[in-house]
Structure 1
C-alpha cells in the first residue's frame, strides 16, 4: 500500500499515512488531531543514486559549444 506524506499547517509536523491510491486525496488529520493538513510531494520511488553526476566537459558537442555556428 502506498505511503503518503503530509504536513500539518497548525503545528508544522510532518507525518506519513499508508492508504490506498483511491484515498490519496482524502483529508488527513495529523497525529495531534489537527485537520488543516496538506499532502506533500514525495521523492520516494524516484530512481538514481546519491552521488552527483560528473560535470560536463567544456567545449564538447552541441551547436553553441562545438563550433558549428559559424
Structure 2
C-alpha cells in the first residue's frame, strides 16, 4: 500500500499515512489532531534488476543522437 507524506500547517509536524491510491487525495489529520494539513510531493527511488549493464558513455541529454 502506498505511503503518503503530509505536513500540518498548524504545528508544522510532518507525518506519513498508508492508504490506497484511490484514497490518495483525501485529507488527513495530523497526529496532534489538527485538520489543516497538506500532502507533500515525495521523491521516489525506483530500482530494477538491470542486469548490471553500464550506462552509455556518450550521451549528453539524448544519448548522443543530437551531437551535444
Category of TM-score, reference length = shorter chain: 0.5 to 0.7
Secondary structure at 2:22 match in 1: helix
How many residues align? The count is 49
For the aligned residue pairs, the C-alpha RMSD in angstroms reads 1.3
1:46 Cα offset (Å): 4.3
1:21 Cα offset (Å): 0.4
Match of 2:44 in 1: 44
Match of 2:32 in 1: 32
Match of 1:13 in 2: 13
Cα distance in 1 for partners of 2:41, 2:21 equals 14
TM-score (normalizing by structure 2): 0.66
Match of 1:57 in 2: none
Q: Which has the higher helix share?
A: 1
Structure 2 residue runs of 5 or longer lacking an equivalent are 48-66
TM-score (normalizing by structure 1): 0.64
Structure 1 residue runs of 5 or longer lacking an equivalent are 48-60, 63-70
Extract structure 1 runs of 4+ deviating beyond 6 A.
Answer: none
